[in-house]
A and B are shown apart, each in its own frame.
Chain A
Amino acid sequence: MAMIVYHSGNSLLHRLDPRVKMILLILYTMVVFGVKSFSILGILFALVLLLWKSAGLPLSRLKKYLAYLTGMIVFLIIIQSFFLPGNINLVKPIFPEGFPILPGRGFVSLKGIVMGVLLGFRLFVLIMLMPTFIMTTTVNEMAVGMVRMGLPYKIAYLATTSINMIPSLQDEATTIMEAQKMRGFSVFEEGRFREKMKAFPALVVPLVIGAMRRAQAMGVAMDARAFGAGKSRTYRLTLKMTGSDWAVFFLMVLLAALLMGGAFILDREVSLWNRL
């Protein structure tokens, strides 16, 4: 079930300096958020897919992400089509004009559907983007990268140990569910959605208590090994920007700029469906 774990390998993406990866991740996240054009999003999608392939990340994961996201995407489409006014409505407004709440809304607008699909697509590309960093960078590389970019090391470690705890939390959730199943509690296996929601605290409460206890024990263990001794610390891992790191960095920044420019030029495409 583990969704975010380091996936070892020796690809270009694995070898790339973590700082470059971090900055590019932020940059491309902004690009994905800023783009309204389907064609550019399509190009971004293809690009990220290419990164997944080249880094040897398991493409089967993508199906799982899509499965997780389906509900969210459907929800986005419904909300958008209901409330985003457009020129073509498939259904007459449920709330008539002059109605005290949401006057004139509650239609199914074509524009809303398109917008919902766009937001869903965007979300999917965004979710795909994360693993290209998280699954190709060790927690230690992340920490050292963040510190080298000026973040205080305690914050960097807070962030990275949290990421590091995710797999063990997932294991623990599985263990709790197994233990509950053994006592005849099988809502999470075969229950309906509402039953699952009701039973949620039974899973979350022990999980949170366990996580807190573990975090506390880990804190003591870190203290016992001199964590927080000084304002700074040293690192076994040394980072050095190589020529290819710079090359990748500039190429990817250039590409991001081109995509943004392309999105600007393709503004006509956007205005086309904006007219719907």
Chain B
Amino acid sequence: MEQTLTDADQAETITAVSIKNYSYSYPRREGRVLDGINLDIQRGELVALMGRNGAGKSTLCRSLIGVIPHSVGGTVWGEILINGLNTFSTSVASLAEHLGIVLDDPEAQLFTPMVDDEIAFGIENLCYPVEEIRESVEWAKEVVRLEGCGDREPSTLSGGQKQRLAIASALAPRPSILVLDEPTSQLDPVGTFEVFDVIYKLKTEHNMTIVISTHKSELIAEYADRIVVLHEGKVIGNGHPRAIFRNREIMKKASIHPPQVSMVADRLAEKGGVSFTEEDYPITRAELCDFLRKRGIRL
């Protein structure tokens, strides 16, 4: 089924996510957890949020759907526009049609006893008619490859299936933006691959804008268009994965592990006298093989 995620706004060329001088502090807690964030995300981009624990990744994700500050409270400075809508003056419910989110707590976000009900929950709240609910549920199940699991109990699914269900639930209102907060942190390699496979499909086949917070450097090198590095609530790096992974200073400050391939490249540069340019510094396995082949080195 070929179906693109178009809503009225998508036809226009508004920036998908536009964050302007955004700061935030939690209620009953001193200090700004996010501090002067400026960030634009274009339509169709896949942006990775990286940074050490406590850097503010989850806080930023929650700000994008508006549960910060609408449900959580706290103090906000600056503004965030989602498809041109201000998160502060727009209700979370209205934002949910533009932006779907997979939260970082896998236990808390599946709260109905049946897969189909879970997926339908959001669009029921948005008062979709029954026929459309059924259609969207089937569609979302197909996108995340959970066909045939409709009447399963979510707690009986595998970790990868649970996360894909969470994605399907966020997708049901057919938003143009999807935010995923550490969707694979509790998954084994197989589950992680299943989830990234779906994310890549959403980007390529459905032209969705995707923001994903994760520590998985290898997969980010493979799939992301851009990495944004957060450190103590500030953006300290924003650029192509190659530029970020090559920047030792940022990597060290944010304690991000570079992809293994890059570590091999660094060793080659150090011990083997090979030098890499800005363009051919390898971050994926294919790139490294390519580089070596060009130099006449066969593996």
Contacts and interface: CB of A to CB of B under 8 A. Distances in A.
Interface of A: 6, 138-140, 161, 164, 168, 214, 217-230, 232-238
A138 B107 CA distance: 20
B125 A224 contact: no
Contacts of B114: 138, 140
Nearest to B99: A224
Contact of B125 (A168, A219, A229): A229
A235 B120 CA distance: 8
A230 B127 contact: yes
B103 A234 contact: no
A233 B125 contact: yes
Contacts of A233: 124-127
Contacts of B101: 224
Interface string B72-98: 100000000000000000011110110
Interface stretch (B10-18, B62-70, B269-277): B62-70
A235 B132 CA distance: 11
A229 B111 contact: no
A229 B128 contact: no
Contacts of B107: 168, 214, 217
- Sorted nearest first, the 9 A-B pairs with minimum C-beta distance are A229-B93, A217-B108, A225-B122, A226-B93, A226-B125, A221-B109, A226-B96, A236-B120, A223-B71
A228 to B, nearest CB: 7
A132 B72 CA distance: 39
B112 A140 contact: yes
Interface in B132-184: 133-134, 137, 169-170, 173
Contacts of A161: 111
B117 interface: yes
A229 B127 contact: yes
B27 interface: no
12 contacts: A6-B113, A218-B108, A221-B111, A224-B101, A225-B96, A225-B125, A226-B96, A226-B126, A228-B93, A229-B91, A229-B94, A236-B117
Nearest to A213: B108
Contacts of B65: 224
B137 A236 contact: yes
Contacts of B71: 219-220, 223
Contact of A226 (B92, B105, B111, B117): B92
A214 B103 CA distance: 13
Contact of B134 (A168, A222, A228, A236): A236
A238 B127 contact: no
A230 B113 CA distance: 23
Q: Which of B120, B124, B126 has the most CB of A within 10 A?
A: B124
B113 A138 contact: yes
B129 interface: yes
Contacts of A218: 108-109, 111
Contacts of B96: 224-226, 229
Interface residues of B, number: 40
Contact of B121 (A6, A225, A228): A225
Contact of B116 (A168, A222, A230, A236): A236
Contacts of B67: 220, 223-224
B70 A236 contact: no
Q: Which of A217, A236, A237, A238 has the most CB of B within 10 A?
A: A236
Given A221-B105, A223-B70, A223-B71, A234 B127 contact: yes
Contacts of A168: 107
A227 B137 CA distance: 17
Q: Which of A218, A220, A233 has the most CB of B within 10 A?
A: A220
A166 to B, nearest CB: 12
A179 B152 CA distance: 30
A238 B130 CA distance: 8
B122 A235 contact: no
B93 A235 contact: no
Contacts of B94: 229
Contacts of B170: 225
Contact of A236 (B91, B108, B127, B130): B130
A220 B112 CA distance: 15
B241 to A, nearest CB: 28
B92 A224 contact: yes
A236 B133 contact: yes
Given A217-B108, A220-B103, A227 B125 contact: yes
A238 B97 CA distance: 24
A235 B130 contact: yes
A220 B93 contact: no
Given A214-B108, A221-B109, A226 B122 contact: yes
